[in-house]
């Protein structure tokens, strides 16, 4: 292939999925000359699986992305067709926003945002090689021979790296949705020393709306009023579609069991490791044989299409088997499949090869984000893309990387889990992965991260002032209800008794009444004539801060204790094998991960509390001028 010298950039982003878009936008907005490469412009910000944004823990990530100045939340607000807050029956730590988006409109919205962004070029081209000079990234090469000199490159390759589709015994090279796979870049990455491996994911069939009998399904309406994803969205939002729920049955399961030998997953043709928390329907039937049925979410792909997505029914069984088992489901007896379900296998990197900044340890200037790093999900990808874009831009400008602590965000938890513990299957964010989830609620994502977004340069002065005003309103209202006393009255006591809590005989502070689990801030409005007219986001925060005050303070103390370990930074060139008293397994694990701090070291599997004590003593002696090995 003949090559030629093409335009130079500070940063090349390879892949324009959810990770690539956030990475490119962040880098360009921070002043780096950026180019975003994609195999197809028509696949930018594509949703090859369900066109939904958010969900349990994932909604937290989207709000954190927005609080830092990312784009996903705004795109979701602009293009959703149904919105629901999940887990309302549980505590605020697990409340999670989820929307069903219009797939094509989401793509078009993001594509136009990218096209209008200063410092950012968008190019349709396959990157086939990463070049280095003196060990650092120096250029990227396209399939047409263009050599673009760069200071950094961000790999956001999704499922395209040596992608292979499986439907029964049919297998062929491909990316998602019929786009061609990236077949040459993996060899270049392996030559650079990156440890690649194979993962697998899948997606259900898309079926024609008119072929479903919706009268036999459970309707699932959206919320009213709607909570937006973006803290900047101020216009009222409205649902435009209704989703539905269906169920598999014993007949469905029997069709699958009779044909399980035709599944490439069970026939050994698929090498890649699939997602533990989002298994295929054949995997569910085998693993959960005692379950009489499995839930299916029947969700539209958009307002201008008749395609319906069957969430929960991903499969790699042959097409004829798919048709057979879909038609056993109530309401689906005449269903017409428009796109068959498939599994896709692809290359990823072992995330233990990455620094907390998402830069590759072995190749300075090379960053990874999204499914390339071993995760699953649009939201996890976008979160990593945002941080990789920020850190690549800061590196080009001679600034230190931004590394979010676990105690600051789910983004920090996600990245720390990847680079500290690695992942043996596609990683999915869940609220249970955080030890600080009462602090990391979706409602306070702006309080946790907007100041950092402003400091970095992704939050405008105007937006930051609005944020400060909101925080001031919250603090003022908490102080007001804490000092405001309401007298007993028949109406108030009737309310209290009706909610199964004790009546009051003397004056009571509003704050103490709100702390009662049975009573809400809104319940007390008729008895609080001095109450100011405040936005719902402010009153929600006030109520949570009062009700969960004790638990929040307890978690804050835990954070302070952990921060002492996080502040103990370890030298990058530490020779762990030479530290006396450190167990062999711990020395090997520490040498492989090369943790940034003692806190990170304490989370590495195979490193014990005794090993941490040895590390602390060694670090203290080193700081006092002692020998590294002493």
- Alpha helices by DSSP H, listed for 117-184, are none
**DSSP, res 440:** S
pLDDT at 627 exceeding the cut of 70: no
Instruction: Describe the strand order of the beta sheet including 337-339 as a list of residue ranges.
Output: 218-220, 243-247, 295-300, 307-311, 206-208, 337-339
Confidence label for 270 from pLDDT (cuts 50, 70 and 90): confident
pLDDT value for 342: 95
The average pLDDT across 105-122 equals: 98
Closest by CA position to 429, among listed 32, 19, 57 = 57
The average pLDDT across 431-460 equals: 96
pLDDT at 630 exceeding the cut of 50: no
pLDDT tens by residue, 533-581: 999 999 999 999 999 999 999 999 999 989 999 999 999 889 999 999 9
Confidence label for 624 from pLDDT (cuts 50, 70 and 90): confident
Contacts of 364 (CB under 8 A, 6+ apart): 135, 136, 137
Computed from CA positions of residues 277, 278, 279, 285, in that sequence, does the dihedral angle turn out positive or negative? positive
Name the average pLDDT for the chain.
95
pLDDT at 276 exceeding the cut of 90: no
Higher-confidence residue of 229 and 264: namely 229
Of all helices (H) and strands (E), which one includes residue 23? Answer: helix 18-29
Bridge partners, residue 333, by sequence: none
What phi and psi, each to the nearest 5 degrees, are found at residue 229?
-75, -45
Domain positions in the chain are 4-201+346-445, 206-345, 474-550, 567-623
For the segment(s) 567-623, the CATH number from 3.20.110.10, 3.90.1170.50, 3.40.1710.10, 1.10.150.570 is 1.10.150.570
pLDDT at 629 exceeding the cut of 50: no
pLDDT tens by residue, 585-598: 999 999 999 999 99
pTM of the model: 0.95
For the segment(s) 206-345, the CATH number from 3.30.365.10, 2.40.30.260, 3.40.30.10, 3.30.70.2080 is 2.40.30.260
Record: fold of 474-550: Arc Repressor Mutant, subunit A (1.10.10)
The average pLDDT across 495-505 equals: 95
Cα 83 from Cα 465, distance rounded (Å): 28
Question: What 3-state DSSP class applies to 471?
Answer: helix
Contacts of 51 (CB under 8 A, 6+ apart): 100, 101, 102, 103, 106, 301, 302, 309
pLDDT at 267 exceeding the cut of 90: no
Closest by CA position to 180, among listed 229, 215, 112, 128 = 128
pLDDT tens by residue, 604-614: 999 999 999 99
Higher-confidence residue of 606 and 380: namely 380
**Alpha-carbon distances of 616 from 560, 566, 611, 620, rounded to whole Å:** 17, 12, 9, 6
The average pLDDT across 131-147 equals: 97
Class of domain 4-201+346-445: alpha beta
Percent of the chain with pLDDT over 70: 99
User: Under a CB-based contact definition with an 8 Å cutoff, are residues 496 and 472 in contact?
Assistant: no
pLDDT at 167 exceeding the cut of 90: yes
The average pLDDT across 302-329 equals: 96
pLDDT at 626 exceeding the cut of 70: no
């Amino acid at each position: 292939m003949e090559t030629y010298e093409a335009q130079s950039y500070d940063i090349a982003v390879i892949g324009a999925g959810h990770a690539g878009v956030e990475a490119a936008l962040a880098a360009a907005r921070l002043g780096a000359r950026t180019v975003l490469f994609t195999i197809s412009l028509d696949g930018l910000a594509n949703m090859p699986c369900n066109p939904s944004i958010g969900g349990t823990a994932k909604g937290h990530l989207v709000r954190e992305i927005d609080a830092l100045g990312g784009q996903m939340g705004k795109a979701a607000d602009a293009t959703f067709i149904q919105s629901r807050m999940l887990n309302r029956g549980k505590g605020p730590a697990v409340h999670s926003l989820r929307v069903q988006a219009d797939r094509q409109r989401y793509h078009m919205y993001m594509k136009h945002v990218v096209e209008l962004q200063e410092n950012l070029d968008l190019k349709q081209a396959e990157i086939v090689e990463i070049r280095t000079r003196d060990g650092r990234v120096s250029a990227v090469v396209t399939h047409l021979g263009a050599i673009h000199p760069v200071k950094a490159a961000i790999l956001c390759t999704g499922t395209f790296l040596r992608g292979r589709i499986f439907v029964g015994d049919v297998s062929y090279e491909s990316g998602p949705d019929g786009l061609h796979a990236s077949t040459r870049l993996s060899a270049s990455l392996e030559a650079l020393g990156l440890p690649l491996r194979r993962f697998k994911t899948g997606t259900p069939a898309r079926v024609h709306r008119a072929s479903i009998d919706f009268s036999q399904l459970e309707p699932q309406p959206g919320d009213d009023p709607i909570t937006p994803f973006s803290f900047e969205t101020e216009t009222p939002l409205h649902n435009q579609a209704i989703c539905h729920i269906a169920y598999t049955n014993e007949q469905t399961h029997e069709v699958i069991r009779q044909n399980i030998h035709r599944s490439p997953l069970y026939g050994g043709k698929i090498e890649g490791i699939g997602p533990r928390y989002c298994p295929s329907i054949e995997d569910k039937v085998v693993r959960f044989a005692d379950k009489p049925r499995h839930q299916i979410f029947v969700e539209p792909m958009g307002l201008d299409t008749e395609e319906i997505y069957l969430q929960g029914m991903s499969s790699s069984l042959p097409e004829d088997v798919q048709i057979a088992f879909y038609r056993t489901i109530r309401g689906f007896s005449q269903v017409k499949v428009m796109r068959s379900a498939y599994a896709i296998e692809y290359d990823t990197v072992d995330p233990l090869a990455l620094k907390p900044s998402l830069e590759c340890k072995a190749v300075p200037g090379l960053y990874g984000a999204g499914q390339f790093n071993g995760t699953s999900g649009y939201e996890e990808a976008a979160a990593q893309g945002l941080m990789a874009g920020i850190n690549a831009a800061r590196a080009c400008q001679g600034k230190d990387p931004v590394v979010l602590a676990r105690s600051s965000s789910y983004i920090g938890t996600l990245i720390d889990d990847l680079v500290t513990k690695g992942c043996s299957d596609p990683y999915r964010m869940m609220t249970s992965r955080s030890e600080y989830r009462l602090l990391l609620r979706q409602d306070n994502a702006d309080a946790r991260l907007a100041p950092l977004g402003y400091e970095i340069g992704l939050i405008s002065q105007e937006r930051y002032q609005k944020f400060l005003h909101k925080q001031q309103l919250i603090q003022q209202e908490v102080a007001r209800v804490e000092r405001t006393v309401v007298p007993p009255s028949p109406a108030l006591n009737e309310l209290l008794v009706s909610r199964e809590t004790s009546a009051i005989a003397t004056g009571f502070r509003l704050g103490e009444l709100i702390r009662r689990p049975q009573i809400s801030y809104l319940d007390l409005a008729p008895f609080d004539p001095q109450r100011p007219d405040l936005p719902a986001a402010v009153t929600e925060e006030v109520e949570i801060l009062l009700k969960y005050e004790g638990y929040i303070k307890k978690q804050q103390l835990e954070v302070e204790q952990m921060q002492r370990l996080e502040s103990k930074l370890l030298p990058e060139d530490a020779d762990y094998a030479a530290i006396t008293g450190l167990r062999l397994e711990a020395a090997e694990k520490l040498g492989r991960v090369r943790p940034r701090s003692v806190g990170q070291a304490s989370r590495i599997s195979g490193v014990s509390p005794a090993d941490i004590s040895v590390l602390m003593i060694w670090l203290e002696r080193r700081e006092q001028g002692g020998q590294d090995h002493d």
